[in-house]
Structure 1
Amino acid sequence: MTDKPIVKVLLVDNHPLVLDGLRAILETYEHIKVVGAASLARPALEIAKAERPDVVLMDINMPEMNGLDAIELFKEQTPSTRLLMLSMHDSREYISTSVMYGASGYVLKDVSTDEIVEAIDTVAAGGTYFSSGVSEVLLESRDKGQKGRTLTTREQAILLLIAAGKSNKDVAATLDISARTVETHRKNIKKKLGIATTAGLTRYAIENGLIGNDP
């Protein structure tokens, strides 16, 4: 028996071999209970609503909806669940965006099983966990102030919709997120770009070639 508290984990990865392998390995740890596995984000969200896992271990690259976009839905609909991203990419953009969207950790797929379990335990206990290569990338990113003003992929998408005259409600419906989340992104975009008005955002989008200036 183990003295560790039981941690309920939901696995999300569109590669069946990875999913089955992770499940088989994690189930050898007495304190980890795999409450479900899914190959796509939306079915995973339904499982999460029913099972209320402590941690969702989720791949970033998935069809239909990628892991980054899924983070926001999990945060909105199962707020007590912690998100731990699993990826083969140590891309600064992936890592920074994961953190910005609300993930509690990011581990690379080539780490040992023990490290994945350590990450799950850390995140379940309320902490954050980044595997060593990821930590280095985050530190680099933090050192570059200019990088902090770069819009994420999601922010760029929202900026395009705002510049096209869409309301928060329209943007929310298009991207399948809440209007409140859109408003938060809108504020962040304005802060990053140093622009105070919606008209200014539209002008920025036109001047930077993000949209045309035709009526």
Structure 2
Amino acid sequence: MNNEAPIIRVFIVDDHAVVRRGLASYLSGEDGIDVIGQAENGRQALDELAILVHAGTPPSVVLMDLLMPEMDGIETTKAVTDRWPELRVIAVTSFLEEEKISAALDAGASGYLLKDADADDVLAAIRNVAAGKMVLQPEVATTMIAASRRPNPAADLTGRERDVIVLVAKGYTNQQIATRLSVTERTARTHVSNILAKLGLTSRTQAAMWAVQHRLLSPAGSEPNDNASP
């Protein structure tokens, strides 16, 4: 039996050639990592990714700079995750502002790293995201938790709303929430809107961080109760 872990294919998007080459050089020397392509802007990235996906060799993880000419990283991330939902994107940037973090995660990024992150942290993030996990650098998580605080953080959510916010925190889309809870997608969308209004939040990312902060996710990561009242 072959117990070797699958190769993690990495695609790098950054408008600075030195950054791209530096990342590629470092990652290529690590076991289980294969840098399969690079792009200097979002439009080029979409073209190159389309070729790789069509060839049956899509990347496992895309490292995405946010500030680029022609098509920025947030717009590109949304385009990538909309077109190829199976691709995982990590935003790699120098911005620590809550608005940038929220925008990147709302666009579909599975991770957010600062450009001053240690090389080992970048490698660990790639491995974790490839394994299906969400990765936020500690400073990023702290920023998001602080932004999620509101005057009335203990708003009275119904049992069903608690189920929904837990699924939001796990990265479920409205369609996936609807399937999981056996409701229509419209009902799921309404629940999410009601939750944001009750908590005074503006995005699904803030809702996810609120759920983490208020420990609505169990340590074992158990699923919501299907019998909760609507």
TM-score range relative to shorter protein = 0.5 to 0.7
Segments of structure 2 that go 5 or more residues without pairing to the other structure are 53-57, 153-191, 199-230
CA deviation vs aligned residue, 1:46-87 (integer Å, no higher than 9, x gap): 221222111110100001111011111101222210010000
Evaluate the alpha carbon distance shift between residue 20 and residue 193 of structure 1 in structure 2; reply closer, same or farther with a 3 A threshold: same
1:189 Cα deviation (Å)? 9.2
Task: Give yes or no for the alignment of 1:14 onto 2:20.
Answer: no
Shift of 1:144: 3.4
Shift of 1:5: 2.2
Instruction: Look up the equivalent residue of 2:13 and give its one-letter code.
Output: V
2:49 maps to 48
Aligned to 2:98: 92
Aligned residues of 2:110 and 2:133 also touching (Cα < 8 A): yes
The one-letter amino acid paired with 2:16 is H
* CA deviation vs aligned residue, 1:81-132 (integer Å, no higher than 9, x gap): 0010000111111101111111100000101111001101111111100111
Q: Of 39, 57, 61, which residue of structure 1 is paired with 2:63?
A: 57
| Structure 1 residue 4 displacement after superposition | 3.4
Kept in 1: contact 2:9–2:61 (CA 8 A): yes
Residues 1:108 and 1:32: Cα distance change in structure 2 (over 3 Å): same
Q: May I ask how many residue pairs the two structures share in their alignment?
A: 153
Any conservation in 1 of the 2:64–2:77 contact (CA below 8 Å)?
Answer: no
Deviation at 1:190, TM superposition (A): 11
Q: How many angstroms apart in 2 are the aligned matches of 1:58 and 1:17?
A: 15
Question: 1:20-39, aligned counterparts within 5 Å?
Answer: 20-39=21-40
CA distance in 2, matches of 1:99, 1:11: 18
Give the secondary structure class of the aligned counterpart of 1:36.
strand
AA partner of residue 136 (structure 2): F
SS at match of 1:106: strand
The alignment partner of 1:64 has SS state of coil
Match of 1:101 in 2: 107
CA contact (8 A) 2:78 2:108 kept: yes
How do 1:185-200 residues align onto structure 2 when only pairs under 5 Å count?
none
2:43 maps to a residue whose letter is R
Q: Deviations over 1:135-175 (max 9, x none)?
A: 101111222379xxxxxxxxxxxxxxxxxxxxxxxxxxxxx
Structure 2 partner of 1:128: 134
1:80 aligns to what?
86
Kept after mapping to 2: 8 A contact 1:48/1:78: no
Give the Å deviation of 1:192.
6.8
Overall identity of the aligned pairs, in %: 32
Question: 1:8 and 1:92 mapped to 2: Cα distance?
Answer: 29
Coordinate RMSD, CA, aligned: 2.5
SS in structure 2 of the partner of residue 56 of structure 1: strand
Residue identity opposite 2:122 in structure 1: I
SS in 2 for 1:84: strand
Deviation string, structure 1 residues 16-55 (Cα, Å, up to 9, x no partner): 1101100000001121111100101111112212221111
